Chains A and B, each alone.
Chain A
Amino acid sequence: QKEVEQDPGPLSVPEGAIVSLNCTYSNSAFQYFMWYRQYSRKGPELLMYTYSSGNKEDGRFTAQVDKSSKYISLFIRDSQPSDSATYLCAMSEFQGAQKLVFGQGTRLTINP
């Protein structure tokens, strides 16, 4: 079993829909949780960063962490075609421990 599980999709939704992307993990020591966005044929870029449990909002994006369930989510409101990308969750145990563990990535398409 992988440390981090993420449904690879593909996920296709109409423009304006609310998108929910999720990851589960098995290592209870993870404390730092990230979402990266990767456009086709590009490198991943950091989208959201959260510490421990709770919510964090940035514009149309909300990241949620539930450590008791070992479950993290990324919500995208008012989705746009420009949000079409692969979204990867990543997590680490310590702020200074640079070795991140990534999920497989979910490929998302927003249809105009």
Chain B
Amino acid sequence: IAGITQAPTSQILAAGRRMTLRCTQDMRHNAMYWYRQDLGLGLRLIHYSNTAGTTGKGEVPDGYSVSRANTDDFPLTLASAVPSQTSVYFCASSGGAGRADTQYFGPGTRLTVL
């Protein structure tokens, strides 16, 4: 069982370019999340999805979009990257057997926007 996988592991991106961060889970969890982690600011929620076909905005959604076409995949898109989007991005999921609000995290994607 892989849990949550994220791709790419790291990426350097020119400002203005479009980028999609991929996230896949194999735990059949209903809910999925995207966070960014910045030094001194902790984890901040970007977007979330309670179930396939629905999405919602978190604390810092501007400049990001998501889709949830199926249970397993939850891609995060930066339409036109800016240097302030340099961060470590974590995908997480929750739901299924056990506590609904226990979130399981992927290994992260380190993104640098120049």
Q: Which residues of A contact B (CB under 8 A)?
A: 6, 8, 32, 34, 41-46, 49, 88, 92, 94-100, 102-105
User: What are 21 residue pairs bridging A and B, where the CB atoms are less than 8 Å apart in the complex?
Assistant: A8-B40, A32-B101, A34-B102, A43-B4, A43-B90, A43-B108, A49-B99, A92-B101, A95-B99, A95-B101, A97-B101, A98-B31, A98-B101, A99-B45, A99-B48, A99-B58, A100-B101, A102-B42, A102-B43, A103-B42, A104-B41
The complex places the Cα of A104 from the Cα of B102 at a distance, in Å, of 18
Determine the chain B residues whose CB is within 8 A of the CB of A34 once the complex forms.
102
Q: B28-57, CB under 8 A of A: which get 1 and which 0? A: 000101000000111111001010000000
B74 at the interface (CB under 8 A from A): no
B38 to chain A, nearest CB (A): 10
The complex places the Cα of A4 from the Cα of B48 at a distance, in Å, of 20
Interface residues of B in 63-86 (CB under 8 A from A): none
Tell whether, in the assembled complex, residue B41 and residue A45 are in contact, meaning their CB atoms are under 8 Å apart: no
Q: How many A-B residue pairs have CB under 8 A?
A: 58
> Majority SS of interface residues in chain A?
loop
- Place the interface of chain B in its size category: 20 to 34
Tell whether, in the assembled complex, residue A100 and residue B99 are in contact, meaning their CB atoms are under 8 Å apart: no
B95 at the interface (CB under 8 A from A): yes
Tell whether, in the assembled complex, residue A100 and residue B103 are in contact, meaning their CB atoms are under 8 Å apart: yes
Residue of B nearest to A94 (CB): B101
Determine the chain A residues whose CB is within 8 A of the CB of B108 once the complex forms.
41-43
B14 at the interface (CB under 8 A from A): no
